[in-house]
Structure 1
Amino acid sequence: ECPGQTFQARKLLLYLRSSLAEDGEDILLEPYLKLHLKSEKEQHWRPDRYVYRSVRSMVEGELKAGQVNFSYRTDSGCRTLLRLHRSLLWLKMMLEGLSKGPDSEGRYKTCPFSLPRDAYKVALAPHHPWMLRQAAEIVFLALPDREYFLQLVCVKKQEEATPVLRIIIQALSVVHTRTQRILKKYDMLELP
């Protein structure tokens, strides 16, 4: 627990780990979606209101119902999931950068400049139009510094942050890999 802050790395890990289906391949939607909801009460979100239990069941259900179109954009859970999936990759890459030690000259990669920008170029920029990529460059300038991100995981020094960040990165990697496999299997990775 990190007193005095809303974000808790422990809760993030709990949701990531509880989203892993026992079959070793699927992702359960209820704990996964709680990662971005402020609260179930505020969002009027109840698990019993949704038909889909997992990523696989949602993909298969929407394909069967014709809710996914590969030629033009449609409002579908699969398309929204794909956006979330890409954002998860961005977060994972950013945390990987934060977990690394200094370079040969003793300097760390910096926030808000190189870490988020480098991750964005790989994970999100290829899927964004030019205008949005330019807006992202402005947003990077407004991001807080490295120390702020370290405080989010309740540490003060890099030596303390690295093991904590690696645990989070591992959990993010498992969720990302499972989701990637499902999306790839059903050709969902390049939805318009």
Structure 2
Amino acid sequence: MEALGPLVGFFTHKVEEKISFLRQLSQEESLSAPPLSKGHAYHSVHSMLEAELQRGVVSFTEPLPSGSRLFLRLHRSMRFVMLLLEKLWSEPEERSLVELCREAYEEVLAPHHPWLLQRAAQVAFAALPDRSVFLPLLCVRGMKEAEPVMRTVITVMEEIQRRSQRELESRGMMDLP
């Protein structure tokens, strides 16, 4: 995704930072767990969300750092990527990558970003390359060849989204600050 330009590269970097932080939380928890203990709070999304709620590290009013909050941001980021892929696959080839990316951003991420970040994203969209640059990233030559790859990726992402959504919604965490 970084090959698509500065916005997507920045986006990818932010996702990697969040994943790294979650890994760090998991490692710290593993080191502090008693020997022969049966797992720890960060061995699954379910256990992380539950443990953080029980420990009181999740704030519903302030933007305090937590694995749950980061997971929500990753959930949104995946939804953005999934929607962009769906648009690349289903929209006419005349529609530019800039248009498709802008629409996916406006639908998924913009409602959760401050005005200044929204403006910066709009400026960065202008630097995106032509839509045809995306296909070689999938190791395909055309949309017809890309269809099975896109369908598989989107199907897997939809399942992850569905499960993540269920976990977050069941705890009222969809709008963490």
Shift of 1:109: 2.0
Q: Could you tell me which amino acid in structure 2 is paired with residue 87 of structure 1?
A: S
Matched, 1:66 2:51: no
Structure 2 distance, partners of 1:48, 1:67, is 17
Alignment partner, residue 139 of structure 2: 154
Q: Could you tell me which amino acid in structure 2 is paired with residue 62 of structure 1?
A: E
Q: 1:154 to 1:185 in 2, by over 3 A?
A: same
Q: Which runs of 5+ in 2 are unaligned?
A: 4-14, 30-39
Fraction of identical pairs, as percent? 41
TM-score by length of structure 2 reads 0.77
Alignment partner, residue 84 of structure 1: 74
Q: Which runs of 5+ in 1 are unaligned?
A: 1-5, 8-34
Structure 2 distance, partners of 1:83, 1:145, is 28
How many residue pairs match? The answer is 153
Shift of 1:83: 0.7
Alignment partner, residue 109 of structure 1: 95
Shift of 1:49: 4.3
Aligned pair partner of 2:115 in 130, 149, 154: 130
- Aligned-residue CA RMSD in angstroms? 2.7
Structure 1 distance, partners of 2:45, 2:156, is 17
Q: 1:48 to 1:134 in 2, by over 3 A?
A: closer
Structure 2 distance, partners of 1:130, 1:48, is 35
Q: Could you tell me which amino acid in structure 2 is paired with residue 109 of structure 1?
A: R
Contact 1:100 1:162 in 2 (8 A): no
Structure 2 distance, partners of 1:127, 1:73, is 12
Shift of 1:101: 5.3
Compare the two structures and name the one with the higher helix fraction.
Answer: 2
Aligned pair partner of 1:57 in 26, 36, 47: 47
Q: Could you tell me which amino acid in structure 1 is paired with residue 114 of structure 2?
A: P
Structure 2 distance, partners of 1:73, 1:146, is 36
Shift of 1:47: 6.2
Q: 1:101 to 1:129 in 2, by over 3 A?
A: closer
Contact 2:25 2:67 in 1 (8 A): no
Q: Which runs of 4+ in 1 moved over 4 A?
A: 44-50
Q: 1:91 to 1:190 in 2, by over 3 A?
A: same
Shift of 1:108: 3.0
Contact 1:97 1:109 in 2 (8 A): no
Q: Could you tell me which amino acid in structure 2 is paired with residue 147 of structure 1?
A: S
Q: Equivalent residue of 1:142, what SS?
A: coil
Shift of 1:114: 0.9
Aligned pair partner of 1:176 in 145, 161, 164: 161
TM-score by length of structure 1 reads 0.72
Alpha-carbon displacement from aligned partner over 1:14-65 (angstroms, at most 9, x marks no partner): xxxxxxxxxxxxxxxxxxxxx847xx9xxx9696544411111110000001
Q: Equivalent residue of 2:140, what SS?
A: coil
Q: Could you tell me which amino acid in structure 2 is paired with residue 108 of structure 1?
A: E
